[in-house]
Amino acid sequence: MKYALSTLAGATALVVSLIGGPAMAEDDGIVVYNAQHESLAKEWAEGFTKETGIKVTLRNGGDSDFSNQIVAEGAASPADVFLTENSPAMALVEAAGLFAPVDADTLAQVPQDYQPSTGKWVGVAARSTVFAYNKTKLSADKLPKSLLDLADPSWKGRWAASPSGADFQAIVSALLQLKGEAATADWLKAMKTNFTAYKGNSTVMKAVNAGEIEGGVIYHYYYFGDQAKTGENSGNVELHYFKNQDPGAFVSVSGGGVLASSKHQKEAQAFLKWVTGKGGQDVLKNGTSFEYAVGKDAQSNPKLVPLADLQAPKVDAATLNSKKVTDLMTAAGLL
């Protein structure tokens, strides 16, 4: 009995210590739900901490799971700041009324085009849709003129995408806003027959590079990032920009917002201001993310096609409908 009791006591003590045990997160500073690339967010966080002394704890995930998670958490959310790769996730949280208004001087740092009219969140970076293709398998004159062309039977089995990713879903949300529900549903149905699914845009590019498939719909920076490293996954890849206000020329705005439930409003707002200010935007220009800078007077990496030359379609970032997109994609059997 002696042994049994001591074991029982030990087990109880363990369980109790675990309940009240050490939290792994720091209690001071701010918590950022980060759906951006980890390396970029880490650079931002470190730069901000260095300048202000405010500690930043990152929780990494994806756009859609975080936006829905924040809605589920409601007022109890531990997050102070939410950073995304695309706008639909911001729109979802905004629609749930969970964002605090962004400070006016932060909004003033970013042009109107890269923030929603409501001022509930602000653009922190941008990325362009591209058709990445294998230059040995596809010549420039055979490229699709529009994203919509990829629904054509002649493209069957020739292109790839990562439908489960928030990036591709943002592109579909732009298509939905520009062309309407019926056209989008038809396009997705054709896509299901025509395309090959990969998980992650990097994987799509890797497959294109290896010649497993002719081309893929991804964002521009995967190519530049790989070129800056070893180029082993992009040596045979060329980027095709649709331009011409095509849905495929969609420029997606990455957003940042402060949660109304945050108990560190001042620090959270300061973080957003820093990211959209010179410090944060210079990280985009000089770092390895190759995303576009969006701040007024901010420069993007000179290797990129200038944002102004992309002829992107006009899309209202605040009303991109992620819910409708996933419903349509689920109905098309893509999810």
Partner 1 sequence: MQSAVDLSRTSLPPKTRRRTHRRVAPWIVTAAVAVSLLALVPLAFIIWIAIQTGWETVSALVFRPRVGELLVNTTLLVLLSVPIAIVLSVALAWLTERSDLPGGRLWAWLCVAPLAIPAFVHSYAWITLVPGLHGLWAGVLVSVIAYFPFLYLPVSAALRRLDPALEDAAAALGLGPWRVFRRVVLPQLRLAICGGSLLVGLHLLAEYGLYVFIRFDTFTTAIVDQFQSTFNGPAANMLAGVLATCCFVLLGIEVLVRGEERYARVGSGAARHQQRMSLGRATVPSLALLVITTLLALGVPFVTIGRWLLAGGAGVWRLDEIGLALGQTLFLSLAGALLATIAAMPMAWISIRAPGPLQRLLEGCNYIVGSLPGVVIALALVTITVRIAQPLYQTLFTILVAYALMFLPRALVSLRASIAQAPVELERAASSLGRRPLNALWSTTIRLSAPGAAAGMALVALGIMNELTATQMLAPNGTRTLAMAFWSYSGEIDYAAAAPYAFIMVAMSLPLTWLLYVQSKRMAGR
Where on the chain is the footprint of partner 1 (CB under 8 A)?
A: 1, 3-4, 7, 11, 14-15, 18-19, 21-26, 31, 37-38, 57-62, 64-69, 71-74, 76, 78, 163-166, 169, 197-200, 202-203, 205-206, 210, 212, 225-226, 229, 233, 322-323, 326, 329-330, 333, 335
Tokens, residue 291: 């995303």
3-state secondary structure of 34: strand
In SS3 terms, 193-258 reads as HHEEECCCHHHHHHHHHHCCCCEEEEECHHHHHHHHCCCCCCCCEEEECCCCCCHHHCEEEEEEEE
Which of 72/108 has CB closer to partner 1? 72
Distances (CA, A) of 130 to 69, 107, 168, 220, 237: 29, 28, 11, 6, 12
Q: Of the two residues 69 and 319, which places its CB atom closer to partner 1 in the complex?
A: 69
**Please, what is the minimum distance in Å from the beta carbon of residue 64 to partner 1?**
5
- Distance between CA atoms of residues 18 and 256, nearest Å: 34
- Nearer to partner 1 by Cβ, of 189 and 243: the residue is 189
Q: How far is the CB of 177 from partner 1 (least distance, A)?
A: 18
**CA 291 from chain center: how many Å?**
11
Instruction: State both tokens at 95.
Output: 């629609």
Nearer to partner 1, 73 or 113 (CB): 73
Q: 18: how many CB neighbours lie within 10 A of its CB?
A: 9
Strand duo 81-83 + 30-34: pairing: parallel
Q: Using the minimum distance from each CB to partner 1, give the nearer residue, 208 or 310.
A: 208
Q: Name which of 192 and 296 has its Cβ closer to partner 1.
A: 192
Contacts of 211 (CB under 8 A, 6+ apart): 134, 136, 137, 236
- 307 contacts: CB under 8 Å, gap ≥ 6: 126, 128, 251, 292, 300
| Nearer residue to partner 1 within complex by CB, 56 or 124 | 56
Shortest approach of partner 1 to residue 46 CB, angstroms?
12
Tell me the closest approach of the beta carbon of residue 275 to partner 1, in angstroms: 19
d(CA 332, CA 231): 35
Least distance (Å) from partner 1 to the CB of residue 77?
9
- Tell me the closest approach of the beta carbon of residue 215 to partner 1, in angstroms: 17
Q: Considering the complex, what minimum distance in angstroms separates the CB of residue 317 from partner 1?
A: 19
